Amino acid sequence: MAEYKIAVIPGDGVGLEVIAEGRKALEAVASVTDGLSFQFTEFPWGSEYYRETGNLMPVDGIETLKAFDTILFGAVGDPNIPDHITLHGLLLPMRRSFDQGVCIRPAYLHPGVESPLAGKKAGDIDMVIFRENTEGEYAPVGGRLYAGTAHETVVQTNMFTRRGTERIIRAAFEYCDRRNKANGKKVTSVTKSNAQSFGMVFWDEVFTEVAADFPHIETESLLVDRACMDLVRWPEDFDVMVASNLFADILSDIAAVVTGSMGLAPSANINPDHEFPSLFEPVHGAAFDIMGKGIANPLATVSAVAMMLDHFGETAAAERVDKAVAKCLEQRTILTVDLGGTASTSEMGDEAARLIREG
Ligand code: GGG
């Protein structure tokens, strides 16, 4: 009998809309799985909370979350608050405080979904991006001097530690080793080490060291500009990719759109030592252009829920949710506007929940 305590933070914008559907998916899978249950505690943190209190979350928010098995997160961002305030006030402190150094972002072209790239068939694009998630370009290291003067000076420092770099690269290789991909196993590392001659040269060195422990896995090192071009030209060539915090964020957005929609891309922010809660979220953000309209695609969140179940070791439940997502896409009857349909967020979430129960 497993009861998981889930902290739910819908956050902002469409986060509020899609998280309701993620909860429906969890309730649906619990209703058909003996001994599986969830206890949800919802926290109203985010931009509205900031307007009321001056903080995106309470000062003891991180301490509060430590009592939970996991976090289900929606999105953060507000049209009237600078993005660096919202991101650094809520999502990044959780990723860093809970040492969620391994971010996993799969991208798969499902049957029933059309890629914007010509001639791509279902299954042609099938990759998983490993994103270093606690340091790199996102490290809050830097400063601003002489603001507003002619010699205004700004420093923003990238931070690469051996622990963080080796951890994400090793996680990518171990995952690739386990992954059952038909046409060979390959890990692609993406840097810009011709220009970033300290941090990213170091990254390349660590990649070579870790790769030596996996001699049966093909390796490839690309500069980020080439990797972006190849993601559009030859996305089928990628298997597992590993990159720094910023680069992998950009690469995973490209991977999401070439597999049909930002609304399909899930993300797991993993604390590999299981010392703190991991966090599961859709890759997309608050989506100011469509928030409040009830038309956001909920399947990225439903797939994130499947990743959460897999992380708990609830493999059968995770597969059931993944299968429901695939069926929902393949049958093409109830789809949101990003996939060419007219369904609302909750209609598509209801359909996913129905398919989960149906099995
Ligand atoms: N659900 C993800 C989310 O809210 N994203 C907002 C965002 O700007 N994220 C930046 C990042 O993940 O690096």
How far is it, in rounded angstroms, from Cα 138 to Cα 357?
Answer: 40
The alpha carbon of 252 and the centre of ligand 1 are apart by a number of angstroms equal to 12
Mean pLDDT, rounded, for 98-106: 98
pLDDT in tens, 111-160: 999 999 999 999 999 999 999 999 999 999 999 999 999 999 999 999 99
Whether the per-residue pLDDT at 184 is higher than 90: the answer is no
Q: Report residue 290: phi and psi, to 5°.
A: -120, 0
Alpha helices in 179-244 (DSSP H): 199-211, 224-233
Name the residue with the closest Cα to ligand 1, atom 5: 285
Quick check: CB of 307 below 6 Å from ligand 1? no
pLDDT in tens, 262-293: 999 999 999 999 999 999 999 999 999 999 99
Give residue 1's pLDDT band: very low, low, confident or very high (50, 70, 90).
low
The catalytic residue among 99, 253, 310, 322 is 253
The alpha carbon of 244 and the centre of ligand 1 are apart by a number of angstroms equal to 15
Strands 36-42 and 2-11: parallel
For residue 155, the model assigns a pLDDT of: 97
The catalytic residue among 239, 249, 310, 322 is 249
pLDDT in tens, 285-326: 999 999 999 999 999 999 999 999 999 999 999 999 999 999
Cβ–Cβ under 8 Å, residues 159 and 133: no
Mean pLDDT of the chain: 97
Whether the per-residue pLDDT at 359 is higher than 70: the answer is yes
Q: What is the pTM of this model?
A: 0.97
Share of the chain above pLDDT 70, in %: 100
How far is it, in rounded angstroms, from Cα 81 to Cα 74?
Answer: 17
For residue 71, the model assigns a pLDDT of: 98
Q: Which of 18, 19, 71, 76 to mutate to test the pocket of ligand 1 (most atoms within 8 A of CB)?
A: 76
Mean pLDDT, rounded, for 230-236: 97
For residue 181, the model assigns a pLDDT of: 77
The alpha carbon of 37 and the centre of ligand 1 are apart by a number of angstroms equal to 28
Quick check: CB of 22 below 6 Å from ligand 1? no
Quick check: CB of 9 below 6 Å from ligand 1? no
- The one-letter code for the residue type at 85 is I
pLDDT in tens, 217-229: 999 999 999 999 9
Whether the per-residue pLDDT at 196 is higher than 90: the answer is yes
Name the residue with the closest Cα to ligand 1, atom 9: 285
Cβ–Cβ under 8 Å, residues 127 and 236: no
How far is it, in rounded angstroms, from Cα 241 to Cα 234?
Answer: 14
The answer to whether 225 is a known catalytic residue is yes
For residue 180, the model assigns a pLDDT of: 79
The answer to whether 253 is a known catalytic residue is yes
